[in-house]
Amino acid sequence: MLYAWREWQSMMWAPALPWLQATAELLAKVDHITHAAPCRQVAAGCDLLVRLFRHYDKPQFGLTYTDMAGQRVAVRESVVLEKAFCRLVRFERATDCRHPVVLLVAPLSGHHATLLRDTVRAMLPDFDVYITDWLDARHVPVARGTFHLHDYVAYVQEFIDYLGPEVHVVAVCQSTVPVLGAIALSAAGHGCTPASVTLMGGPVDARRSPTVVNRLAVSKPLDWFARTLINTVPRLHAGAGREVYPGFRQHMAFMSMNPDRHLKAHADYYRAVSTGNTEAARKHRTFYDEYNAVLDMAAEYYLETVRVVFQDFALARGTWTVNGERVCPEAIRDTVLITVEGENDDICGQGQTHAAHDLCTAIDPSNRYCLTVAECGHYGIFSGSRWRTHIYPRIRDIIRRFDNAHPEATASETVALNL
C-alpha cells in the first residue's frame, strides 16, 4: 500500500511541477524592477519545491571523452554482457593503446552505478574500464526470476571469467563482501582469480567500529526488516508484483542519517538561487541529482545482505556458505590485496575493510596494501579531490606494478610503497 500511495502522490504533483518550474525560470530573469529581490525569492521557492517533489531518473554517466597524454580521446559506452539484474558496461576509448583492464564493481545499495562517475573519470586515461551497471528491480519482470546474494556472487565470478585473470577488480562499499566471496570461491575451486582486488570502504567485518548503519542492522530481527521495509511493485511498472526494498524508502533512510546536513544544504540552495549565486546552485543540483536518484532492490537480496553481512558477520566468522560451499578467503593466494578506508567514514567504520587482510592469510605480505585516508568521509574515498589527487594515484601505481599483461603500461610507474 505504501508504494502505491507514493506513486499516487507523485502523480498528484506531476501536473504542478512544470508550472512551478516555468514560474521559477520566469521570475529568476527579473533583474531591473523595484521588486526584483522578492521575485527572485519566490523563484527560489518554486525551484526548491520542484526539486523536492520531482522524480529523479537514473542519471547518465556522460563520459564522452578522456584526456590521454594531452590528447582528447573519444569514449563510448557499450554493453558487453547483459544479465537479468545487471549489465556489464565497457567505457570504450577510441585508441589503440593497450592498458590494464579494471572491473569496477559498483555497490547495489540504493544508488545507481553512476554514483561512481568520478571514479571512472579518473581511471579512464590509465585503464580499460568496465563497470557493473545494476538494474532497478522495479523494471525487471517477475518472469525473469529472483535475485539473491549468491546470484550477485555468481555475476562477479562470470564477469571476472569473461575479462580473464589479468583483470584488476575494484569494489566499492557494499560490493566488497560479494566480491571477496566470489574471488575466494574461485580460488578454492581453481577458477579464474584477478591479478589484484581493491576493496574500498566496505563492511568486510561490520563488527569493527560499528556505525549507525551497523547498529540499526543488529537492533531488529530480520523479520522486522521484512515486515517494515519490503513492498510490492505496483502496476504500470515492468516489475509489477515483485517484492522489493523500494528506492524511496532507502532515500528516506539516507536523509535520516544526517537530517541537519541535508536541511542546511537545501536552505543554502534557496539562498543561492534567490541571490543569484549560480555556481553554488549548480554544485547543489549536481550532487542531489545523483543523490536523489535511487533504485529498488530485490527483497530477497536485501534481506540476505542484512543477515549475512550485518547480523551474522558470516564472511568474517567463516560461516558464509554459497550454494553449499563455504567461502574461504584463506584460499586466495595469487591476488594482490589493496584496502582503502576513510578516517571519517560514518557508513563503514574504521577497520571494517582492512579486516580483509586478517582473512586472506595466504596472500604474501609483500602483496598487501592498506590505505587509511585522513579526514576523509565515505564518498570521498571514491569521489572528489582526495580521490583524484591522493587515493587514485596510489591505487594506479600498485596496479601497474603488478600488471604483467601490459608491461608497456608500467614504463612511467613510480615505485609503489606499502601503504
Kindly report, residue by residue over 393-411, the tens digit of the pLDDT. Answer: 999 999 999 987 655 444 3
Q: Which domain holds residue 344?
A: 65-221+297-410
pLDDT at 9: 66
Q: What is the pLDDT of residues 86-119, one digit of tens each?
A: 999 999 999 888 899 999 999 999 899 999 999 9
Task: Assess if residue 419 is contained within a domain.
Answer: no
pLDDT band at 31 (very low <50, low <70, confident <90, very high): low
Listed in sequence order, the residues at least 6 apart from 362 whose beta carbon sits closer than 8 Å to its beta carbon are: 330, 331, 332, 333
Closest to 241 (Cα-Cα) out of 299, 202, 168:
299
- Higher local confidence (pLDDT), 15 or 262: 262
Contact yes or no for 207/313 (Cβ under 8 A) = yes
Contacts 24+ apart (CB under 8 A), 275-281: 275/40, 276/40
- Are 108 and 212 within one domain? yes
Cα torsion through 94, 98, 100, 106, rounded to 10: 10
The whole-number pLDDT of residue 350 equals 96
Question: Higher pLDDT residue, 409 or 51?
Answer: 51
Residues 195, 338 within the same domain: yes
User: Is 109 found in the same domain as 215?
Assistant: yes
Would 416 be classed as within a structural domain?
A: no
Examine the fold and report which residue of 245, 272, 291 is the final residue of a domain before the chain moves on: 291
User: Could you tell me if residue 153 is inside a domain?
Assistant: yes
Q: Report if residue 350 sits inside a domain.
A: yes
3-state secondary structure of 88: strand
Give the CATH number of the domain where residue 92 resides.
3.40.50.1820
Give the DSSP letter of residue 414.
P
Q: Give 278's pLDDT tier (boundaries 50, 70, 90).
A: confident
Mean pLDDT computed over 319-338: 97
Q: Are 82 and 148 contained in the same domain?
A: yes
Asked if residue 101 and residue 209 are part of one domain, the reply reads: yes
Helical pair 247-257 and 259-275, crossing angle rounded to 10 deg: 90
Same domain? 112 vs 143: yes
Model pLDDT for residues 144-185, shown as the tens digit of each residue: 999 999 999 999 999 999 999 999 999 999 999 999 999 999
Domain presence at residue 247: no
Q: Provide the domain count of the chain.
A: 2
Name the residue among 372, 378, 375 with its Cα closest to residue 346: 378
Same domain, 271 and 363: no
Q: Would the pLDDT of 46 be above 50?
A: yes
What the block records as the C-alpha cell of 363 is: 596472500
- Number of other residues whose CB lies within 10 A of the CB of residue 405: 15
Residue 188 has pLDDT above 90, yes or no: yes
Query: Are the C-beta atoms of 388 and 117 separated by less than 8 Å?
Result: no
Q: How many residues does the chain have?
A: 419
**pLDDT confidence tier of residue 308, bands split at 50, 70 and 90:** very high
C-alpha closest to that of 124 among 200, 169, 62, 65: 65
Q: Which residue has the cell 567485518?
A: 205
* pLDDT for the residue 287: 85
Amino acid at 374: A
Mean pLDDT for the stretch of residues 11-23: 77
- Residue pair 401/410 in contact (Cβ under 8 Å)? The answer is yes
Helix (H, G, I), strand (E, B) or coil at 89: strand
- Separation of alpha carbons 126 and 399, rounded Å: 10
Within a domain: 358: yes
Same domain, 181 and 329: yes
Mean pLDDT, rounded, for 367-390: 95
Average pLDDT over residues 15-37: 72
pLDDT value, residue 385: 93
CA distance 293 to 251: 8
Q: Which of 276, 291, 306 is the last residue of a domain?
A: 291
Q: Domain boundary residue among 250, 268, 291?
A: 291
Distance CA(193)–CA(190), nearest Å, equals 8
200 and 129 inside one domain:
yes
* Domain annotation covers residue 254: no
- Is the domain of 379 the same as that of 284? no
Helix (H, G, I), strand (E, B) or coil at 199: strand
DSSP 146-189: ---HHHHHHHHHHHHHHH-TT-EEEEEGGGHHHHHHHHHHHHHT
CA distance 312 to 307: 6
Neighbours of 278 (CB within 10 A): 11
Looking at every residue in the chain, the average pLDDT score rounds to 90
Let me know whether 14 and 86 are in one domain. Answer: no
* Mean pLDDT along residues 372-397: 95
Q: Output the pLDDT for position 50.
A: 82
**Residue, of 206 and 25, whose pLDDT is higher:** 206
Q: Classify residue 5 by burial, with Cβ atoms within 10 Å: 0-12, 13-18, 19+.
A: exposed
Give phi and psi for 6, each to the nearest 5. -65, -40
Beta partners for 168? 102, 196
Residues 220-242 pLDDT 10s = 999 999 999 999 998 889 999 99
Asked, for residue 255, whether it belongs to a domain, the answer is no
Q: Strand locations in 296-391, DSSP E?
A: 297-298, 321-322, 325-326, 336-342, 368-373
Instruction: Say if residue 48 is in the same domain as residue 170.
Output: no
